[in-house]
Structure 1
Amino acid sequence: MKSSLLSLTLLGSFWLGSATTLGQASDYPIQPVPFTDVHVDDPFWSPRIEKNRTETIPASFARIESTGRLKNFDMAAKGEGKFCTTYTFDDTDIYKTIEGASFSMAVHPDPQLDAYVDSLIGVVKAAQEPDGYLYTARTIDPANPHKWAGPERWVLEHENSHELYNSGHLFEAAAAHYQATGKRNLLDIALKNADLLLDVFGPNKRHVAPGHEVVEMGLVKLYRLTGREKYLDLAKFFIDERGKREYDENSPDPWKNGKYWQDATPVVDEDEAVGHAVRAMYLYAAVADVAALTGDEAYTTAVDRIWDNMVGKKIYVQGGIGAVPSGERFGENYDLPNHSAYNETCAAIGNVYWNHRMFLLHGDAKYMDVLEKVLYNGMISGVGMDGKTFFYTNAMQITDHYQHHDLERERSGWFVCSCCPTNVTRFMPSIPGYVYAKRNDDLYVNLFINGSADVDVKGKSVTITQENNYPWDGGLAFTLKPRSSTEFNLKIRIPGWVQNEALPSDLYRFEGNSDAKPEINVNGQAVDYTMDKGYAVLSRKWKRNDKVEVMLPMDVRRVVANEQVEADRGKVAIQRGPLIYCAEWKDNDGQASNILLPEQVEFTPTFESSLLNGVTVLEGQAPKVEVIDNGLGLKTETKPVRLIPYYAWANRGPGEMQIWFPEKVTGVELFAEESK
């Protein structure tokens, strides 16, 4: 593997090099430190990344074979058979898993996996049509394509054909595979497909707003890899095509209107996060990419407005988005019901991609605060601790009496629509790429993950090492080893939750303010520091083995929602550090929906190494409402209550789970036991 190919930069997936490499006119002002340069050795994240490598990726490939997804490519190559899976986008499960395997091989070479991936690429290549078209749902039997595909190429792309969506994930996988291995076998397939898109779409050619975004992100990656501006131009063209779809009052799905497709308003005029949440995240991430690469201020202004709307009115307390099950979509402002919350895992991953880009645009810690909220709560809740079971949706509330039919109580090994498991495979190896970033003489520390990183600051090599027990403890230590004494600014994110900010908006707030402040020492001596956009700035001439210690207070905090969130009025959620906590049936006498948390309830944190792969639990005494007298009465009695991190729920079987707790009883609703 060529050493030059290992100097990779990650942005949702790979991009190559810097602006000067491609002669780009502009780029993100802040550049992330490549995940291949960040060597993680962390008790929280290392086992998860390793589990993804040893369990999730192999299981994903096995299921791709057993479910017929690979067979679809074989049949397409032969031009005979019948599409044997359910969805036109099933091709992407192979692409996303190859992408995850490539990320993994970039830091953990595996000749056997490398050979297997090459064999899959051979199958994909055989299925590609001579002009570059690659879409098994049509190629298998062009006279009888999948019903979503339409009778001809592209005619239903604005809805559910997913032809361009498939291309986008192919492009992302190809970029990752080439940069990890140096091989062009998948890249050549992708470039052939991309050149077909250049022939078909654009000004004076076919016009379409892709029904499911991601091709825009993929084209940007090919642009970064090749320097061909036509790929970037096409990404922008697809974005600018939006805003032309009218409301169809005769649609069998009345919600499936322009908003659902992010196609009711031109992107530059949009001020709301709308529609299918995964599609939205991929679109907004691509808009940020194109804004950075072209300097288009209208794009930047638009994504700023949309971000403010999402974070201020449309995100759950644990970072989940996409409240409405019908259409997996955003609801109206403050429409955040708990009993029916959808919160797709793919949407959480997309939210990480978008917030990272927003940080790279603006250098503000608030975007990393949201990223951390999503990452430690609503994203990793989507994969079980065995690495082989998943949630498609991430519920906010599971009770015996309020169970929405679209929500899962138990994790599944696979889904008919398997987008979330394969998205997890490609995301997990990339996490080290979100830890550090740099700009000129600024070195940003964004996430607190043990390990070391090799960073070039002002043309000089610096190794930075983290030692911590995050997210269980707020004590952080950073050792800097510049090759020679170097003056630069070390910018350490001070999370919003340390600064009495539950979220960078008024959607959620802590009950009462904490006076605890972070303490920072350099070489054992307390130092003064300035704050800039949420970062503690330490400016000095750093020498070898300088040590920075930061103590983040980790009080147990009560979170309340904006009064306009009807579902959370009179309720509290519990947060410690970056983690949102929940009550699960297993720890609370088989029930979680009967717990009250009045103001006087206090919790004590205790680390339990043998529970759920090691977690800090919160223990206290709180009122519980119980049925007595053979169902003829109620009583309230103070009993032990135990809370676990939200991400860890549903790893011990199905049962009740609760995040928001009433502070007091305001009414009673009676349920009769259903007959068996």
Structure 2
Amino acid sequence: MKKILPLIMLCYATNIWSQNKDYPITMVPFTQVKLTDDFWMPRIKTNATVTIPASFERCEATGRVKNFEMAAAKKGKFCTIYPFDDTDIYKTIEGASYSLSLFPDAALEKYIDSLITIVGKAQEPDGYLYTARTIDPINVGPWLGKERWEKERELSHELYNAGHLYESAAAHFLATGKRNLLDIAIKNANLVCSVFGPAFNQRKVAPGHEVVEMGLVKLYRITGNALYLSTAKFFIEQRGQYQGYDASSKDQWKNGKYWQDDKPVWEQEEAEGHAVRAGYLYAAMADIAALTGDTKFLQAVDKIWENEVTKKIYLQGGVGAVGDGERFGENYELPNNTAYNETCAAISNIFFNQRMFQLHGDAKYVDILEKTLYNGFISGVGMDGKSFFYTNAMQIKNSFSHADMEAGRSGWFPCSCCPTNVVRLMPSIPGYVYAQKDKSVYINLFISGHTKMTIDNKPVEMVQQNNYPWDGALSFTVIPAAAQEFTILMRIPGWAKNEAMPSNLYTFANNTDKKATITINGEPIDYTLQNGYAVLNRKWKKGDKILVTLPMDVREVMANENVKEDIGKLALQRGPLIYCAEWPDNHGKTSNIILPANSAFTTTFKPELLNGITVLNTNVPVVNVDANGISVNTKNKELTAIPYYAWAHRGKGEMMIWFPSKVKAIDLFAAEESK
């Protein structure tokens, strides 16, 4: 049987490998894009100088590094809380590796190598790497079974740890060219692929927390080992196969929805369950659809994406509305006061939408990616680089709620998944700016910098200069080695075309007749739109300059009437940014503000405020209660709105995104509280 097993795995893998498919669109690698951007570079620099060192320090101080040292010695007691704490080291190494490509640092590189050495010593001879068991295989915690992978479906996170190891190893190898972490990952992946698979004596399980699937795909891309791809596909195909769930139960843990395991993935049509796990699964499904040509996976992710964007995403790009299970709610279940919106879920949603763009080449996926990036993602990390939100509230009022408890930022949490996820996404942003397909170049994000790429085997450089997201004037200089014909596909954001969201979940109340304009070498051009991109095809010469002007009006946003909590309310957007009102700028309160439709706003850039932001101002009615608590009236006062990502840096207090457009009733209890 030992001879038959490798043959079965080889045949299964070869079937996938032989199709030799991939995404039709390729991202320009992060190593080929150098940023100079005034908005993103300070954040990426803070990530390098503050967040990454603080993360490594916390890994040391909390015992995460010690766990690996004890695993190498095979003695001691696992000294942190969760068996997935290993991943915080992996994710921080991943982020530090991306950062090295931007900011070479010999001391940091040496420290990373020292950690990799510790990780390698903790690995067991057959490739198994999981400190919670290796330290003391007999006395394991309640999350682990007595045998390897026994509780993988539920709590052990053994494959989750492996997935983040693979993701980290891939980033480290691509950024540094070193194989020390990659070889550790390959050794572990070879073990995983021998244990799990379709043969009758292999384990068959849907990983309890997805990410191993994405990691295996990355190893496949680097090594060409088709077994990694086939095992990733196998793991996804195991979802919906477990017979131990109660399909009639409404409990998400009992019916399997929490794990996206209640039915086969190709039958799933809604975003469901734990939002972070879901995003990782959907990203991996897109990978498999691209690499194997499996149309049932493609059709499934298309339906799931449509459900999420039409019924289950917040205005600022957050997903996972319900705190009980950190999960998606029902359709249109998008409460404000108890919104969960885990930062990790925003990150997994970015991964998902990037891959959907690569599958379809439609700007609507980048519109969602951008919305999440500029709002729901960076709201999760403080400007100091060392304070974080695990959840991202949609409003804070003077009443008790889950969201109110999260009104202040904090340092690392015992479960530190969000801080270390921020660490790894932030410096990878250069890899999201440009993409290529044959002789076409996609410009997706408006971030100053330059890139080098090859088009039709000829070198081309591109320089981007702007003051985005504050200003809609964008400049691009094209520098081919010699005059060359190719197509530039310039994304015209949905918000610049009267689309608040690529669905009817959110719409603008005040549409504009302004249109994005484009000039080439000073000459205005009439462009055609293709899947949200302006098609610019010509024979490009060295120094050709494209100027794009996007309308940056302040827009009032309405929610679909099925979102009950937002009926009769308006929110504010300018460019890609969602705005909120926060207590320090609005007389200590925000829950008493009325925002009439068609309010006229002024915009002012304030370089001294919150590291430099554009604020919105208008005069609006504000509800007041007199000193005796008897009379209620409205007075016109100035409303000041700031970008949502910038809130909660000036102490705890009220914050609002959605404002009533008129008074329909008064909640006397709330009025009494607000005295």
Q: Same fold (TM over 0.5)?
A: yes
Amino acid at match of 1:228: N
Identify the residue that residue 124 of structure 1 maps to in structure 2: 119
Q: Deviations over 1:351-392 (max 9, x none)?
A: 111100000000000000000000000000000001111111
Displacement of 1:528: 1.5
Match of 1:176 in 2: 171
* Per-residue deviation, 1:629: 3.4
Provide the residue aligned with 1:394 in structure 2. Answer: 392
Residues 305-362 of structure 1, C-alpha deviations (whole Å, 9 max, x = no match): 0000000000000000000001100000000000000000001011111100000000
Q: 1:395 to 1:498 in 2, by over 3 A?
A: same
Match of 1:464 in 2: 462
- Give the drift of 1:470: 0.5
* Structure 2 counterpart of 1:145, from 124, 140, 161: 140
Structure 1 residue 196 corresponds to structure 2 residue 191: yes
Separation in 1, partners of 2:109, 2:18? 32
1-structure distance, mates of 2:660, 2:534: 37
| Structure 2 residue matching 1:443: 3-state secondary structure | strand
Q: Find the counterpart in structure 2 of residue 218 from structure 1.
A: 215
Per-residue deviation, 1:84 = 1.2
Q: Which residue of 1 aligns with 2:358?
A: 360
Cα 1:44–1:496 change in 2 (3 A) is same
Q: Secondary structure at the match of 1:236?
A: helix
Gaps of 5+ in 1: 1-21
Distance 1:73 1:257 in 2: 36
**Which residues of 2 match residues 227-242 of structure 1 at below 5 A?**
227-242=224-239
**Correspondence 1:33 to 2:31:** no
Deviation of the 1:627 alpha carbon: 1.6
For the aligned residue pairs, the C-alpha RMSD in angstroms reads: 1.7
- CA distance in structure 1 between the aligned counterparts of 2:218 and 2:534, rounded to whole angstroms: 33
The equivalent residue for 1:78 is 73
Question: Given residue 104 of structure 1, which amino acid in structure 2 is its aligned partner?
Answer: S
Task: Indicate which of 146, 157, 160 corresponds to 2:155.
Answer: 160
Shift in Å, 1:108: 2.1
1:175 aligned partner, one-letter code:
A
SS at match of 1:260: helix
In the aligned structure 2, how far is the partner of 1:243 from the partner of 1:230?
22
User: 2: distance between equivalents of 1:126 and 1:39?
Assistant: 35
User: In structure 1, the residue corresponding to 2:259 is in which secondary structure?
Assistant: coil
Write the distance in 1 (CA, Å) between the matches of 2:292 and 2:567.
44
Partner in structure 2 of residue 550 of structure 1 = 548
Q: Mapping of 1:657-668 within 5 angstroms?
A: 657-668=655-666
Q: Which amino acid aligns with 2:660?
A: P
Alpha-carbon shift at residue 407 of structure 1 (Å): 4.8
Aligned partner of 2:56 in structure 1 is 61
How far does residue 405 in structure 1 lie from its aligned partner after superposition? 6.0
Runs of 4+ in 1 over 3 A off after TM superposition: 245-257
Q: Provide, for residues 138-188 of structure 1, a one-character-per-residue CA deviation record: whole Å limited to 9, x for no partner.
A: 111111112111221111100111000000000111111122222222111
**Contact 2:443–2:489 (CA<8 Å) still a contact in 1?**
yes
Letter in 2 for 1:186: L
Q: Say if 2:433 is the partner of 1:435.
A: yes
How far has the Cα of 1:252 moved from its partner? 12
Contact 2:340–2:403 under 8 Å retained in 1: no
What residue in structure 1 maps to residue 343 of structure 2?
345
Q: Deviations for 1:507-561, whole angstroms, at most 9, x for unmatched residues?
A: 0000132100111111111111111000001111000111111111111111000
3-state DSSP class of the match of 1:621? Answer: strand
Deviation at 1:218, TM superposition (A): 0.4
Question: How many angstroms does 1:132 deviate by?
Answer: 1.1
AA aligned to 1:81 is G
Q: Letter of the aligned partner of 2:58 in structure 1?
A: R
1:633 to partner: Cα distance? 2.5
**Contact 2:558–2:570, Cα closer than 8 Å, also in 1:** yes
> In 2, Cα distance between the equivalents of 1:187 and 1:291?
25
Q: Secondary structure at the match of 2:153?
A: coil
- Tell me whether 1:475 sits opposite 2:473 in the alignment: yes
**Structure 2 Cα separation of the partners of residues 431 and 474 of structure 1:** 20
The letter of the residue matching 1:226 is T
Shift in alpha-carbon separation, 1:619–1:256, aligned structure 2, 3 A: farther
Q: Which residue of 1 aligns with 2:406?
A: 408
Which string of whole-angstrom CA distances, capped at 9 and with x for unpartnered residues, describes residues 22-52 of structure 1? 9971110011111111111011011011111
Cα separation, 2, equivalents of 1:402 and 1:448 = 40
* Residue 311 of structure 1: aligned partner: 309
Q: Distance in 2 between matches of 1:326 and 1:171?
A: 30
d(CA) in 2 for partners of 1:515, 1:169? 47
Call closer, same or farther: CA 1:408–1:106 in 2, change over 3 Å: same
Shift of 1:55: 0.6
Which residue does 1:88 correspond to in 2?
83
Residues 583-602 of structure 1: pairs in structure 2 closer than 5 A: 583-602=581-600
Give 1:438's aligned amino acid.
Q
CA distance in 2, matches of 1:290, 1:249: 27
- 621-630 or 161-170: which moved more? 621-630
Q: Deviations along 1:86-118, whole A, 9 cap, x unmatched?
A: 111100000000000111112322110111111
Aligned match of 1:332: 330
1:240-639 alignment to 2 at 5 Å? 240-245=237-242, 247-248=245-246, 255=253, 257-404=255-402, 407-639=405-637
- The 1:26/1:252 distance shift into structure 2, 3 A limit, reads closer
User: Greater CA deviation, 91-100 or 24-33?
Assistant: 24-33
3-state SS of 1:438 partner: strand
Please give the secondary structure, in 1, of the residue aligned with 2:486.
strand
What SS is found at the alignment partner of 2:668? Answer: coil
Instruction: Determine the C-alpha separation between the residues in 1 that align with 2:249 and 2:160.
Output: 23
| Cα separation, partners in 2 of 1:250 and 1:528, compared to 1, 3 Å | closer
Q: Distance in 1 between matches of 2:536 and 2:166?
A: 40
Residues 216 and 228 in structure 2, CA contact (< 8 A), matched pair in contact too: yes
Query: Quick one: distance in 2 between partners of 1:254 and 1:50?
Result: 41
Name the CA distance, whole Å, in 1 between partners of 2:584 and 2:436. Answer: 45
Question: Structure 2 length as normaliser, TM-score?
Answer: 0.95
* Contact 1:584-1:657 at 8 Å conserved across structures: yes
Gaps of 5+ in 2: 1-16
Q: CA deviation at 1:248?
A: 4.2
Distance in 2 separating the partners of 1:632 and 1:418: 48
Q: CA deviation at 1:402?
A: 4.3
Kindly tell me: are residues 474 and 138 of structure 1, through their superposed partners in 2, closer, same or farther at Cα, counting changes over 3 Å? same
Q: Please, which moves more after superposition, 183-192 or 465-474?
A: 183-192
Q: Which has the higher mean CA deviation after the structures are superposed, 130-139 or 239-248?
A: 239-248
The SS at the match of 1:126 is: helix
| Residue aligned with 2:628, SS | helix
**How far apart, in 1, do the equivalents of 2:248 and 2:313 lie?**
31
Percent identity (aligned)? 64
Q: Answer yes or no: is the 8 Å Cα contact 2:339–2:403 preserved in 1.
A: no
Partner of 2:3: none
Partner Cα distance (2:18, 2:43) in 1: 38
Aligned equivalents of 1:638, 1:248: Cα separation in 2: 56
SS of 1:629 mapped into structure 2:
coil
In 2, Cα distance between equivalents of 1:351 and 1:49: 20
In 2, Cα distance between equivalents of 1:407 and 1:247: 34
Q: Following the alignment from structure 2 to structure 1, what is the Cα–Cα distance between the partners of residues 347 and 507?
A: 24
- Contact 1:325/1:406 (8 A) holds in 2: no
